[in-house]
């Protein structure tokens, strides 16, 4: 009798999938957008912090520590803290998502910039590169692989977190999962889960390819510095 509630229901109803391709497609777009915004803004903030940390060394500890605390706070709890202040919606979701990227990005940008070999720096100084110019044309390019590695992790991590942001109203594939959980309907759960994993893997691959594109240049350039 009770088994009838669940057993008759197939795990994945393809007819539902067919009927809802529009919803699935817009979930995909939303998921991608949420991720992109978080990583882009996160990178901007992390870069700013990194530059400060490079210039004034003592700030690295506190900055990284603060980001670390943010990172350790469970996402649901962070939403819980943000919702009373910012309400439900895009801003809340993004604030949390951005917060979670900061630690990784900050760390990797600093690590990358630090990894530039002193010999290279001296050479650059010798050639007349100064301050910003050196940063832009020498340090950052050399730091690129490490930074890219950080972006990769941040991106994949964010894709995973976006599934949870569905609870505050903006969730891409997470909305599908949530819908399924709320209705005791496994199909959207499966679809949402599989697709979010697929997206994470796809983005991971994109970054791997990018990393490969960069490294031959560096290897030829004679510096394993900053590879990470």
Partner 1 sequence: MTRPMRALAMVLATATLVAACGGDDDDDDTSTGDEGAAEAIDGPAVNIGAQDFGESAILAQIYQQALNGAGIDASVAEVGGFRDLLFAAFESGDVNLAPDYVASQLEFLNDGAGEATSDVDETLAMLEPLLAERDLAALKPSDAVDTNAFVVTQETADDLGLETLSDLAEKGQDLTLGGFQDCEENAFCIPGLKRVYELDLSGSFTPLDNAVVGDTLASGDIDVAVLTTTDGRIEDEGWVLLEDDQHMLAADNVFPVLTQELVDTYGDDLTGVLDEISGELSTDELTELNKRYDVDKDDAEDIAADWLDDKGISGA
Partner 2 sequence: MGDAWSDMLDYLGGDAAWSGNNALQALLWAHVKLSLFAIVVAALVAIPPAVALGHVRRGGLLAVWIVNVGRAIPSFAIVALLFPISLRWGFRLGLWPTLIALVLLAVPPIFTNTYTGVRDVPPDAVDAARGMGMRPGELVRKVELPVALPLVLTGLRVSAVQVVATATLGALVGYRNLGTPIVSGFQRANKGPLLAAAIAVAALALLVDGAFALADRRAIPWRRAAGRQADVTVDARIDATIAGSGTPAGAAAGSGAAAGATAGSLPG
What are the residues binding partner 2 (CB under 8 A)?
Answer: 6-7, 11, 60-61, 64-65, 68-69, 71-81, 83-85, 88, 100, 103-104, 107-108, 110-112, 114-115, 145-146, 149-150, 152-153, 156-157, 159-161, 163-164, 167-168, 174, 177, 180-181, 184, 186, 189-190, 192-193, 196-197, 200-201, 204, 208, 211, 225-228
- Could you tell me where the beta strands, DSSP code E, fall in the chain? none
DSSP tag of 172: T
CB of 89 to partner 2, least distance (A): 12
Residues 6 or more apart whose Cβ sits within 8 Å of residue 71: 99, 100, 102, 103, 104
Q: Does the protein bind partner 1 through residue 111 (CB under 8 A)? A: no
Please give the structure tokens belonging to residue 36: 């992109």
Please give the structure tokens belonging to residue 227: 């590879």
Q: Does the protein bind partner 1 through residue 39 (CB under 8 A)? A: yes
Please give the structure tokens belonging to residue 97: 């998502």
Cβ distance to partner 2 smaller for residue 136 or 202: 202
Cα 61–chain centre separation = 22
Q: Buried (b) or exposed (e) across 167-191, using 16+ Cβ within 10 A?
A: bbebbbbbbbbbbbeeeeebbbbbb
CB of 128 to partner 2, least distance (A): 26
Q: Does the protein bind partner 1 through residue 217 (CB under 8 A)? A: yes
Cβ distance to partner 2 smaller for residue 6 or 128: 6
Residue pair 91/169 in contact by the 8 Å Cβ criterion: no
Residue 100 binding partner per list partner 1, partner 2, none, with a CB distance cut-off of 5 to 8 Å that depends on partner kind: partner 2
Please pick, from the candidates 114, 218, 223, 228, the single residue that binds partner 1 as defined by CB under 8 A: 218
Phi, psi of 116 (to 5 degrees): -65, 125
Residue pair 31/172 in contact by the 8 Å Cβ criterion: yes
Residue pair 101/38 in contact by the 8 Å Cβ criterion: yes
CA angle 156, 170, 152 (to 5 degrees): 10
CB of 214 to partner 1, least distance (A): 5
Residue 218 binding partner per list partner 2, partner 1, none, with a CB distance cut-off of 5 to 8 Å that depends on partner kind: partner 1
Please pick, from the candidates 113, 116, 135, 145, the single residue that binds partner 1 as defined by CB under 8 A: 145
Interacting residues with partner 1 (CB under 8 A): 1-2, 4-6, 9, 13, 16, 26, 29-30, 32-33, 36-37, 39-40, 43, 88, 136-137, 140-142, 144-145, 147-148, 151, 169, 175, 181-185, 187, 207, 210, 213-214, 217-218
């Amino acid at each position: 009798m009770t088994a009838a509630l669940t057993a008759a229901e197939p795990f994945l109803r393809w007819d539902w999938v067919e009927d809802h391709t529009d919803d699935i497609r817009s979930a995909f777009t939303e998921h991608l957008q949420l991720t992109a915004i978080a990583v882009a803004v996160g990178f901007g903030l992390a870069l700013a912090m990194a530059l400060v940390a490079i210039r004034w060394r003592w700030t690295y500890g506190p900055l990284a520590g603060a980001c670390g605390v943010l990172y350790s706070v469970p996402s649901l709890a962070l939403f819980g803290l943000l919702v009373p202040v910012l309400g439900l919606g895009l801003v809340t979701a993004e604030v949390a998502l951005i917060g979670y990227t900061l630690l990784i990005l900050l760390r990797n940008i600093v690590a990358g910039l630090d990894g530039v070999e002193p010999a290279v720096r001296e050479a650059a100084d010798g050639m007349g590169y100064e301050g910003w110019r050196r940063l832009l044309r020498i340090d950052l390019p050399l730091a690129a692989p490490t930074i890219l590695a950080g972006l990769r992790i941040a991106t994949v991590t964010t894709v995973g977190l976006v599934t949870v942001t569905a609870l505050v109203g903006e969730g891409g594939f997470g909305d599908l999962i949530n819908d399924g959980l709320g209705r005791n309907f496994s199909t959207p759960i499966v679809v949402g889960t599989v697709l979010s994993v697929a997206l994470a893997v796809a983005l991971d691959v994109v970054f791997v390819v990018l990393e490969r594109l960069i490294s031959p240049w560096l290897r030829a350039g004679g510096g394993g510095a900053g590879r990470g």
